[in-house]
A and B are shown apart, each in its own frame.
Chain A
Amino acid sequence: MPTKLSRRDFIRLCAGGAAAISLSSYLAPFMAEAVAAGAPPVLWIQGGSCTGCSISILNTVSPDIEKVLTEVISLRYHPNISAAAGDLAIQEALYKTAEEFKGQFFLVVEGAVPVAADGMYCIIGEKDGQHLTFERAVKEIGSQAAAILNFGTCSAFGGIPATPPNPTKCKPVSEIIKTVPIVNVPGCPPHPDWMIGTIAHVLLYGDVPEVDSFGRPKMFFGGIIHDNCPRRQYFDNAIFAKNFGDPGCLLEIGCKGPIAHCDSTTRLWNGGVNWCIKAGAPCIACTEPQFPGWPMYERIPEMPIAPAMTATIDQIGGVLGAAAVLGIGGHLAGNIATGRIGPKKNDAEKEGDN
């Protein structure tokens, strides 16, 4: 049975398709229309982060950031690019918007949430004469949002701040707020298209995009770097780079392409000019939940064998193998000496018979 498609549905479908194949410049008019039609506002808060994700979104090429901010999304609060400061920013822009659009607005969180010492390691402002910790802001604002968009690996999975020893006890947002749908857009930093595309999706559809089991939108994180790598032929032919700058597959100098999910291979960065592997850098799998809990420029981490001592698995295996060979040699000697094997065997059996 053919489905009837209204004009509005058709436009949405086109916009969704444009988002998926990153024709983001075609998106802008649709998003502007959605905002004009009363699409909910977006709030952006920053915690345990380096502001790199904000810098990355400023690099968006088409639509450019000016257009994004003035026409495409109704961004009511952003700690870096808002003109407002002090009470005007916290009370009016942040809290009043959250109250006014309760259950409708979308909250973008950048950075992990430090919870040690009641969150005092990260204070983002002042509210009612009190320190406003990031933990409190995430709890109070986040619990009223329609959905939380975690931009960057820190807010999505903990990232660099939550990597041991983690003295500030940083946590991902999903461990702080459990009642609100969450979309993770990891990356260190995430590609501007992933962020704009995710915002576009939630504004146009009013719903979170389809996500994988780590909460990442499938339209951006559905593939493996290794599968589309421009250096893949080097891997298949077993030509491996031994040093940075060598031609060849970068696996031996630590490339995590075979385990990293994202579409940088086809999307490219800096407006489609270049990306990590093309620049000769091994993939560090910055979109994976365990990032950066592994050595970036080594194939496999070393194993702890004693306090403050590590060894490679090959070294451990080699030592155990040598020990096994010695043990076998010793046992073989014992077998021959006791007559279980070798020339004495028949004598021993005869003795046994007697």
Chain B
Amino acid sequence: MVKQMEDRHSIWIRIFHWTNMIAITMLCLTGFYIHAPESFRLFANMDNARMIHFGMAYLLCVGVLGRVYYAIVADDAKNIVFSVTKDTPKFPSMMKYYLFMADSHPYYGKYNPGQKMMYTGWLFMALIQIITGFVLYKPDMFMAVSGWLGGYMAVRVIHYIVTWLFVLSVLAHVYLDISEGVPVLKSMFTGKIPADFDHGTHEEHAPAPGESIGA
């Protein structure tokens, strides 16, 4: 029997997800090399690492711009933007589920509040990295920006701290997604998820069978 599948991720979400993934991964790797070339020997020389870093920086700019544009025009923003008033009250039930104090969790929509918070946070972290990155890339052109941020040394420190935040949050992201089941990981490639996949118990209303939970 062929499993009944339903749409979860549109082609654009998948494209932006994987370009941003490539960009962020390469930016982190080259970034650690540029930060500590002696102890993080991953590239042949500074030239290569910097060239990849700057190229991937532009790829990330395009990816972030495209993802934000898509979120607005496709009305996808409601799925991923964290709302302090609406999403914060949902935290206890989610934490109970993650801490094994409850066997299931309510239906939150496409993403749970923790995911929303992380994805919204990534947008801001990416923006911080883009701004501080360009200040360090073209110190002459963005001299005034460096002044507002407290000087080039502060910009360097911010850029490096946010890199670590990316590494740590990606770690959590990969684990939590895979631990929810391989279909979740697969859905980011195929765009489809089994129709009977458990998205949480529906307390208020049970969606009719076949009702899409995707964007």
Does A64 count as interface, using CB distance less than 8 angstroms? Answer: no
Partner of A212, one of B98, B143, B150: B143
Contact with B along A66-88 (1 / 0, CB 8 A): 00000000000000000000000
Contact with B along A169-182 (1 / 0, CB 8 A): 00000000000000
Partner of A328, one of B38, B153, B175: B175
Q: Is the CB of B172 within 8 A of A324?
A: yes
Q: Which of B41-70 contact A (CB under 8 A)?
A: 43-47, 49
Alpha-carbon separation in the docked complex, A335 to B100 (Å): 8
Chain B residues within 8 Å of A337, by CB: 100
Q: Is the CB of B140 within 8 A of A223?
A: yes
Does A213 count as interface, using CB distance less than 8 angstroms? Answer: yes
Does B157 count as interface, using CB distance less than 8 angstroms? Answer: yes
Q: How many residues of A contact B (CB 8 A)?
A: 44
Does A168 count as interface, using CB distance less than 8 angstroms? Answer: no
Alpha-carbon separation in the docked complex, A223 to B139 (Å): 9
Interface hit among B75-83, B109-117, B160-168, B204-212:
B160-168
Q: Is the CB of A288 within 8 A of B151?
A: yes
Task: Say which size band chain B's interface belongs to.
Answer: 35 or more
Partner of B154, one of A290, A320, A325: A290
Contact with A along B4-48 (1 / 0, CB 8 A): 000000000000000000000000000000011110000111110
Chain B residues within 8 Å of A224, by CB: 139-140
Does A206 count as interface, using CB distance less than 8 angstroms? Answer: no
Check A321/B168 contact, CB under 8 A, given A213-B143, A288-B152: yes
Shortest distance between the CB of A222 and any CB in chain B (Å): 7
Q: Is the CB of B153 within 8 A of A213?
A: no
Partner of B160, one of A258, A259, A313, A334: A313
Shortest distance between the CB of A112 and any CB in chain B (Å): 17
Does B179 count as interface, using CB distance less than 8 angstroms? Answer: yes
Q: Which of B37, B144, B154 has the most CB of A within 10 A?
A: B37
Does A125 count as interface, using CB distance less than 8 angstroms? Answer: no
Q: Is the CB of B139 within 8 A of A213?
A: no
> Apart from A235-B46, A240-B38, what 4 extra A-B contacts exist at CB < 8 Å?
A290-B150, A300-B156, A300-B160, A334-B100
Q: Which residues of B contact A (CB under 8 A)?
A: 35-38, 43-47, 49, 98, 100, 103, 136, 139-140, 143-144, 147, 150-154, 156-157, 160-161, 164, 167-168, 171-172, 175, 179, 181
Q: Which residues of A contact B (CB under 8 A)?
A: 212-214, 222-224, 235-238, 240, 242, 252, 256, 258-259, 261, 285, 288-290, 293-294, 299-301, 303, 313-314, 316-317, 320-321, 324-325, 328, 331-332, 334-335, 337-338, 340-341
